[in-house]
Structures are given as structure tokens and as C-alpha cells.
Amino acid sequence: MMNKRALRYILTILSILTASIVYGQHYVGVRGGYGGGMIRLEPKEESGALIGFPTVGVGWKYYSPVKYVGAIGAELSYVKSGYKTLPFVDSDTSYQRRVESIQLPFMWQPHIYMFNRKARAFLNLGIYVSYNIASDTSTVSKVNGVLHKGKYPLRTVKDNRFGYGLCGGAGIGVFINRFEILAEARYSYGYADLLKYADKYPGNPKRSPMDSFNISIGVYYRLGKGGILSPASERKKKKIKKEELETDITNGNYTSAKSSKTNTKRYQ
């Protein structure tokens, strides 16, 4: 009896997931922008952020039909970040390091619709994993410029290539037919150390998690033909219908205006 009941539960879940894949509102797209990074060292050292690095990514999102829930999604991104350390406060010379990574965030985007559901404001909440692919360093003087620059060899004995942490941010998206154009700001808070613990490699700090941040724009394309899945509130429906009716009357399209009075499914 228990096996049959468990089988029914499994089949129900699979049918829901299958329906989501077939009928759900899926988007694919690209994102690009600029950002920077910083490091949190222990024992504490004088440090600062480096900015002006590119970031690009390709992603997938699925919009839920449940109001305010928004979207879930994943993104494969190239992220460059960095940091600088100083021997003392207001030092003329700083040590700078830049790190190139492949980052994979998994995010939830709760949102609210605006402007008659032609746009949305959203939050980004999620986790990420990353892999460092390259790094370089430089010594820079405020007066004399770059004193030294070279590749930083990533070595297993002293460097961590893998990273993980939390990511969050906010943005706004605008719907144009089957496209969504969005702008967002994102911050990734690292938990993994960039450098291995001092007891594994003498000279390394006890803690060295790195953070990154960026501002970007993106374009996503809706794969399905349907519009917004979550139904509008009754108040919003009436407002949209009223504005559409006024627009039709203003344009002299009385036939369309008449049909708009009975059209209860046109939300977008």
C-alpha cells in the first residue's frame, strides 16, 4: 500500500514538472556589464576595492504563475574581480591582484509588476559556485604608475580555485513583446578563502574570502507564446480594460472598443 502511494506521489510530481517544462514561461538570454571586487583578510590588513572589470553571462529563467513569486533561474558567467592591499594607511604603493572566474549562480527573483504589467521590479537572492581560471598581479604607485606587472601562477598547494557564497541584488525589467530588457546590480558575498589556510601554507592569512559586485544590462527572450502567467488582480484588470477602451475610442476604433468591454482575458 505504501509503495503504491509513494508511486502516485512521484508520478504527480513528475507530471507537474513536465507540465511546467512544456507550458511554463521560460526565458533565455545574455547579460553584460562592469564591476569590481574586494577581499576580507584575517588578520586584518589595509585593503581596498578594484573596479572596472567586465562580466558577461548566459542564463535561463522560469517565471512562476504564482503572484509575486517571480522567477527562478541559473546563469553561467565570466566574472573578473580584484583587490588591493597597502602596507599602511595612505600608502603611495599598493599590491593589486585580479582574478578571472567562471561563476554559476542559482537565483530566486521575487518581483512586482509595474506600468500595467509592462515592467517589473525584482530582487535577486541566491547562492553561487565558482572556479578561478587565471590571475595576475601588479605593484602600483600613485606617483610613478605601474612598477611591476605579471601573471600569478595558481598552485594547488597555496591557492583555492573553487569558491562559493551568497549573491543578491535588485533590478528592473521591461517587457517588449517576447523580449525582456533588464538592468540590475548584483553583489556576490564569498565564503571560500582565495588563499589556503596558513596551517597548510605558511605565510597565507587565516581567512581570505573575496567578494565581487557588478552593474549590468541584459536581454532575455521568452520561448513560449503565452504572456504573463500570473493573473492580474481584479482592480488591475479593470484599470487595463478602461485604458484600452479609452485608447480605442481616442483612435476612433469603435469596433475594437466594443469588443474590449467583453474581453476579460487581455491582461498584457
Q: What is the pLDDT along the chain (268 residues), one digit of tens a residue?
A: 446 666 676 666 555 545 555 455 889 999 999 999 999 999 999 999 999 999 999 999 998 877 778 889 999 999 999 999 998 888 899 999 999 999 999 999 999 989 888 999 999 999 999 999 999 999 999 899 999 999 999 998 899 999 999 999 999 999 998 999 999 999 999 999 999 887 778 888 999 999 999 999 999 999 877 666 565 555 655 665 666 676 666 666 655 444 444 444 433 3
Supply the pLDDT for residue 264: 40
Q: In this structure, is the dihedral angle defined by the CA atoms of residues 99, 100, 106 and 108, taken in order, positive or negative?
A: positive
Under a CB-based contact definition with an 8 Å cutoff, are residues 34 and 183 in contact?
no
Residues paired with 195 in a beta bridge: 159
- Residue 17 main-chain phi, psi, to 5 deg: -65, -40
69 Cβ neighbours under 8 A, 6+ residues apart: 110, 230
* Res 254: pLDDT: 52
Q: Please, are residues 68 and 110 in contact by the beta-carbon 8 Å criterion?
A: yes
d(CA 179, CA 112): 18
CA distance 165 to 187: 10
The pLDDT value recorded for residue 225 is 74
pLDDT score at 29: 96
CA distance to 29, 124, 172, 232, 233, per residue, from 178 (Å): 12, 22, 16, 18, 22
